[in-house]
Amino acid sequence: MDLNGIGYSNIRLPNDSSSYIYTYNQYINTFPEEVFIHEYLHSLERILKERNYDIPNLHDYEIYGYKEQRLIGLKDWYYDYMTCNITTANGNKIGLDDIVYTLTPPAESDFKYATEVEFNEEPGNIIEEIKGLFKNILNIFGIK
């Protein structure tokens, strides 16, 4: 998930403890952890692509013969993606290079126009959304 074009994953869970997401239900959330794994893998994918590694796109599972399965979703695809165990048409194994697990997370200095994200201040209406957009634009140019 992309937040204001700065490349962060943002997963929001409801505060309501009775929400269906906290209860396993094979018809609603077959593999509830999948969204966390998916977004984390996007982060690893980005790290390698920025370093010019040739890896498959996370969303291209069907190209390599994987299908979303009942109860486990794309668990097989994610496992093979993470362990570089996806078999191509010519028999080669591809996926995330294991070097990605040794790289340090990015620091604020790694971004040309780093912006602190205020996750607790969510817009309540369209006016607040527009104000926030202009605030972010002004911050990029160093205007407070």
Q: What is the model's pLDDT at position 102?
A: 87
Q: Which structural domain range is residue 138 located in? A: 107-144
The answer on 121 and 59 residing in a single domain is no
- How far apart CA 121 and CA 136 sit, in angstroms, is 13
pTM summary value: 0.59
Q: What is the model's pLDDT at position 69?
A: 85
The answer on 37 and 25 residing in a single domain is yes
The answer on 111 and 51 residing in a single domain is no
> Which residue in 49, 62, 43, 56 sits closest to 84, CA to CA?
56
pLDDT digits (tens, 9 = 90+) for 70-108: 777 888 999 999 999 999 999 999 999 999 988 876 666
The answer on 140 and 87 residing in a single domain is no
pLDDT digits (tens, 9 = 90+) for 37-70: 888 898 889 889 988 999 999 999 999 999 988 7
